[in-house]
Amino acid sequence: MKKKHVPDTGDSWTVRRNLRLATPASPDETAWIRKALGSLEGLLGFNIEEGSDMLEVTYNVVKMDYQVLGKNLETLGCPLASTGWSRIKGWLYQFSDTNARDNAKAPPPPCCNKPPR
């Protein structure tokens, strides 16, 4: 089994997702994807191989989410797969990203000996 080293940022809001593209990426599409994703704010890392339909991304959910990533890939002409399982995974990823963003913006809980205001 081939393992890739992913640096640990120590951030609770960093997630890694494995996404499937609708079609395998040609060498030109791979170059476009690398160029476009390299400029997105909140994207910490990504990996795509030529001729593969798998895209591995690591991003901060406070600054980016699944829908933003999907829209950017669609504008490049490399949409995400639209199979039933891919749509369910996408919905779960977006739900998780939204919850994490809401939790990151929540105020700290009150101390146990003080009532909330």
Confidence of residue 115 (pLDDT cuts 50, 70, 90): low
> CA-CA distance, 90 to 93, in Å (whole number)?
5
Percent of the chain predicted with pLDDT > 90: 51
Residue 3's pLDDT is 41
Question: Is the pLDDT higher at 115 or at 99?
Answer: 99
The count of residues in the chain is 117
Q: What share of the chain is helix, strand, coil (3-state, %, to 5)?
A: 40, 20, 45
Instruction: Give domain status of residue 116, yes or no.
Output: no
The CATH number of residue 27's host domain is 3.30.70.100
Percent of the chain predicted with pLDDT > 70: 88
> CA-CA distance, 67 to 117, in Å (whole number)?
36
Instruction: Give domain status of residue 96, yes or no.
Output: yes
- 3-state SS class at 30: helix
Instruction: Give domain status of residue 27, yes or no.
Output: yes
Mean pLDDT over the full length of the chain? 85
The whole domain housing 34 covers: 14-104
Contacts of 49 (CB under 8 A, 6+ apart): 30
Residue 93's pLDDT is 96
